[in-house]
Amino acid sequence: MIIGENSRQDDIEINVTKEKKQTNMRASTADVSLGALTPALMMSLEESIDFLEDDELLEVTPKSLRLRKKYLTHLERTRKNRQ
């Protein structure tokens, strides 16, 4: 799924299922940035279609609208960009 916007043109590859590493040494401001997350955007069908890029799809179900990449893995996207 698409989980956010990037201010730059390229996509950021992340794994949202990996948890944050817990160590004894932390920066004093490291955990402060977690509270600054913006809430999810609730978009209508028309807004979702306008938001789509060329390499993205919109999954429409009776209860939700989901944006996702056409090629799910980073390897598939890299192969497709080479062609």
**Rounded distance between C-alpha atoms, residue 39 and residue 31, angstroms:** 18
**How does pLDDT run along the chain (83 residues), one tens digit per residue?**
677 777 888 788 877 787 777 776 666 665 555 556 677 788 999 999 998 988 899 999 999 999 998 988 888 988 988 88
Entry pTM:
0.64
Query: Is residue 77 within 8 Å of 69, Cβ to Cβ?
Result: yes
**Rounded distance between C-alpha atoms, residue 23 and residue 17, angstroms:** 18
Instruction: Encode 15-50 in three state secondary structure.
Output: CCCCCCCCCCCCCCCCCHHHHHCCCCCCCCHHHHHH
Predicted local confidence at residue 65, as pLDDT: 92
Query: Is residue 58 within 8 Å of 48, Cβ to Cβ?
Result: yes
